[in-house]
Amino acid sequence: MLISVSTGVYGVDLIQPDSMIVQPGQSLTVTCRVSGYSLTDSSYATSWIRQREGKQMDWIFTMWSGGSSTNNDALKNKFSVSRDTSAQTVTITGQNLQPEDTAVYYCLLNILWDFFVM
């Protein structure tokens, strides 16, 4: 199984090889180091998504500035997330990966907008 990782937007540096090979049943840890914004800044959130060949993109989770995360219910038993605010990293760990988990995994910056009504 081939796992590719990529950055999705400006301001996010991915500190991991371009691709990794994982045997079925193994786990995988990928770390995304962000720059240009703080993980604790409430204007931003960091997400992981994946693109499997011939399939729609899967949203895996979003890590919010306060440290909580929102997960895709269908993938919550397969993937977990953690962060290190001092190192500015968000890490995804996949357990018991299978051939159907072969994908390009993207780390994304989410810009959160506040709208004011006058």
The CA distances from residue 106 to 18, 46, 47, 52, 112, in Å, are 11, 10, 8, 11, 18
One-letter amino acid at 68 equals: S
Find the length of the chain: 118
- 60-112 per-position pLDDT tens digit: 999 999 999 999 999 999 999 999 999 999 999 999 999 999 998 888 888 88
One-letter amino acid at 70 equals: T
Domain 2-111, architecture per CATH: Sandwich (2.60)
Q: What are phi and psi of 101, to 5 degrees?
A: -90, 0
Per-residue confidence (pLDDT) for residue 7, from 0 to 100: 47
